[in-house]
Amino acid sequence: MKHNFGAGPCILPQEVFKQASAGVLNFNDTGLSILEISHRATEFIAVMDEAVSLVKELLNVPEGYSVLFLQGGASLQFAMVAMNLLGEGQTAAYLETGMWAKKALAEAKILGNVNVVATSKEANFNYIPKDYSIPADSAYFHVTSNNTIFGTQMQSFPQSPVAMVSDMSSDIFSREINVADFGLIYAGAQKNIGPAGATLVIVKDEILGKVYRQIPSMLNYKTHIEGESMYNTPPVFSVFVSMLNLRWLKAKGGVAQIQIENEAKAKALYTEIDRNPFFKGTTAVEDRSKMSVCFVMENPDHEKAFLKLAEEKGCVGIKGHRSVGGFRASLYNALPITSVHVLVDAMQEFEEKFKN
């Protein structure tokens, strides 16, 4: 059995895979595959409508917000956010907490002024800055809620005097949030939503239409709101599987229940990291991510041996990002706690084997 700790594309529930594969062969008894059905067909419009409805239900999205399924990943959102929200002569505020935040602010700089209100770059992004102020004249304030490469996570969000924008690609649907605190949330699907190909956007309608530049149709949120995520051909299969996955999450008890499970998984792994003399965490304890657990060996020479042992136990995808090394265990929603126990057992077995 494989225990998939990959950072993304990542693990999805087995029952979702089975339902999706059935849809590939014969979608809703149409005699057609979901891969070939028209996105204008009544059957697929129902899929899109249900996916949007489930997002609103599971996250308690307030009135006055639009939910979109777009393409291009979070990387396109880095530019779309600034293009739609950063007007001429304005400055956007950014919190720099890792590589993805760095890429987001780099795209914004192309379109306007950027103020980095705080950064943890000097410590290789091993903590989340906390003592900073958000200028009230900012066009918006951008944060990255979870940092997959460095293993930090915002455990709470500041009260922002301006629209707060968050990249939640790697922890959306993993814990309860108050959507009303944000002007815009975006997330690539390939962590907790569904397979790669779709990007979820939740945007407060009233923050749009306030810049005066001409925005290309495909990069304008209003275009996609008016087209109900179908201005052009949407990522049909990704939206379909996302809908199935959100059904699965609802059946489990929703975000509140999955948060309990995710906290238990993270606690089990961090407890072993802190107990085992062969391993150590890499981030400030108060900022430890419950989705992206990063750790290293006390003796780097042991890394290859532990990786080999973990792989023999069926643990895959735990090698750290190439820019930081060590190990990274992604604990996304569909990963069962039994898989975490297998990894913990491997860590304990390694300790017994090498302690003398």
pTM (2 d.p.): 0.97
- Delineate the domains of the chain, giving CATH numbers in brackets: 14-252 (3.40.640.10), 254-354 (3.90.1150.10)
Q: What is the pLDDT of residue 262?
A: 98
In three-state secondary structure terms, 256 is helix
The residue-averaged pLDDT of 334-347 equals 98
User: In terms of pLDDT, which residue wins out, 325 or 55?
Assistant: 55
Say if residue 356's pLDDT is above 80: no
Q: What is the pLDDT of residue 322?
A: 79
Tokens of 352: 């017994």
What residues act catalytically?
100, 167, 191
Dist CA 296 CA 302 (whole Å): 10
Q: pLDDT digits over 233-279, tens only?
A: 999 999 999 999 999 999 999 999 999 999 999 999 999 999 999 99
Cα–chain center distance at 97: 15
Q: pLDDT digits over 296-312, tens only?
A: 999 999 999 999 999 99
> What band does 51 get if pLDDT is binned at 50, 70 and 90?
very high
Task: Tell how strand 91-96 and strand 65-70 pair up.
Answer: unpaired
Q: Which amino acid is at 195?
A: P
DSSP type of residue 207: G
Query: Within a 10 A sphere around the Cβ of 219, how many other Cβ atoms?
Result: 14
In three-state secondary structure terms, 95 is strand
Dist CA 124 CA 3 (whole Å): 29
Give the contacts of 109 (CB within 8 A, at least 6 positions apart).
none
DSSP type of residue 62: P
> What band does 286 get if pLDDT is binned at 50, 70 and 90?
very high
